């Protein structure tokens, strides 16, 4: 099993984690945010955390909260990431009521894989699909590598945010869709459309734009089977992320059991803290053929 962590993300640093929290640097801004997987003791003292942090997220309920400012910093700022091909993507960050800031930094591992995989494809204009696409880091990586990109997310404001990231990155012509991911995939199946690269990063729970319910363990088997039907038969790659407490990599291995014609890699994403500990952030499965 692969254990992968970003090593070239200069604008991001996990400083420390523990006590169900993580201390992180995004560009020049240092935050404290909740992290349910950080069940251990931090390496640094509480005083060291407080002295470094500009911002701290304070939960008010199980799904929302507010940001407490310890130092004067803007509510919005930008960071960048350089892909293996030398192209740089730009991401606007902002303070949301859901503790997120607009990027999942462990996904940089997948951005690299996407850019490298697209470069190896023989197809002149490969098609790439990003499902549960959030603010579009994977979409930007694929577009910067030359793919024809379709970006699907159920939240209009998040798709608008991703569009802004495309503009900041000097890219264009990404297809934006505010859509329930499973409904879109089913429609693409009926149309007979195929993709050379697909990534899906589903939440544990979620809702489509028309109230469609998503629960990872209830819907993931149908989603994986449907998505695999969209893969180009000659050459393709697919990434499935699963961030859910207790979700084993073996579950992903079983979900892909029927894909005998593709190479399968299973692993876990994590972030390496400067203070020494490692923070697990979900399992992944990768299919590839002729890459």
Sequence spans of domains, the chain? 2-74, 77-289
> Could you give the angle at the alpha carbon of 250 between the alpha carbons of 219 and 272, nearest 5°?
100
**Whether pTM exceeds 0.85:** yes
Summarize pLDDT for 267-290 with one digit per residue, the tens: 999 999 999 999 999 999 999 999
**Which residues lie closer than 8 Å to 174 by C-beta, 6 or more apart?**
136, 139, 140, 143, 149, 150, 151, 162, 163, 166
Q: Which two tokens stand for residue 153?
A: 């997310």
Q: How many CB atoms lie within 10 A of CB 195?
A: 21
* Res. 244: pLDDT tops 80: no
Average pLDDT over residues 38-51: 97
Could you report the per-residue pLDDT of 136-161, keeping only the tens digit for each?
Answer: 999 999 999 999 999 999 999 999 99
| Residue among 66, 69, 77 at smallest CA distance from 26 | 77
What average pLDDT does the segment 9-33 reach?
Answer: 98
Residue 245 pLDDT: 63
Task: Provide mean pLDDT across the span 53-81.
Answer: 95
What are the distances in angstroms from CA 251 to CA 131, 265, 287? Answer: 20, 13, 15
Homologous superfamily (CATH) of 77-289 is: Vaccinia Virus protein VP39 (3.40.50.150)
CA dist., res. 79 & res. 29, Å (int): 10
The 3-state DSSP class for residue 199 equals strand
Which pLDDT score, from 0 to 100, does residue 100 have? 95
User: 205 falls in which pLDDT band (50, 70, 90)?
Assistant: confident
CATH topology of domain 2-74: Immunoglobulin-like (2.60.40)
The token pair at 172 is 């264009």
Report the mean per-residue pLDDT for the chain: 95
- Strands 21-26 and 29-34, by their bridges, are antiparallel
Q: Which residues contact 112 (CB under 8 A, 6 or more apart)?
A: 8, 83, 84, 141
């Amino acid at each position: 099993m692969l254990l992968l962590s970003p090593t070239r993300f200069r604008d991001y640093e996990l400083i420390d984690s523990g006590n169900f929290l993580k201390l992180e640097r995004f560009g020049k801004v240092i935050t404290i945010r909740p992290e349910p997987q950080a069940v251990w003791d931090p390496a640094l003292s509480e005083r060291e955390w407080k002295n470094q942090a500009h911002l701290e997220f304070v939960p008010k309920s199980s799904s929302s909260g507010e940001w407490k400012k310890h130092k004067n910093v803007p509510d919005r700022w930008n960071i960048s990431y350089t892909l293996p091909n030398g192209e740089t993507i730009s991401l606007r960050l902002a303070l949301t009521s859901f503790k997120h800031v607009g990027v999942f930094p462990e996904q940089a591992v997948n951005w690299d894989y996407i850019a490298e995989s697209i470069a190896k494809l023989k197809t002149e204009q490969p098609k790439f699909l990003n499902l549960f696409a959030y603010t579009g880091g994977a979409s930007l990586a694929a577009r910067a590598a030359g793919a024809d990109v379709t970006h699907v997310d159920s939240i209009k404001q998040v798709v608008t945010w991703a569009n802004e990231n495309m503009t900041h990155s000097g890219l264009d012509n990404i297809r934006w869709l505010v859509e329930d991911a499973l409904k879109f995939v089913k429609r693409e199946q009926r149309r007979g459309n195929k993709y050379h690269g697909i990534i899906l990063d589903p939440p544990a729970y979620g809702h489509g734009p028309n109230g469609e319910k998503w629960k990872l363990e209830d819907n993931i088997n149908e989603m994986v089977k449907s998505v695999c039907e969209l893969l180009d038969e000659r050459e393709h790659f697919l990434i499935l992320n699963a961030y859910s407490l207790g979700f084993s990599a073996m579950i992903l291995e079983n979900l892909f059991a029927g894909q005998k014609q593709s190479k399968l890699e299973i692993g876990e994403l994590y972030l390496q803290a400067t203070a020494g500990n490692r923070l697990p952030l979900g399992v992944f499965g990768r299919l590839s053929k002729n890459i």
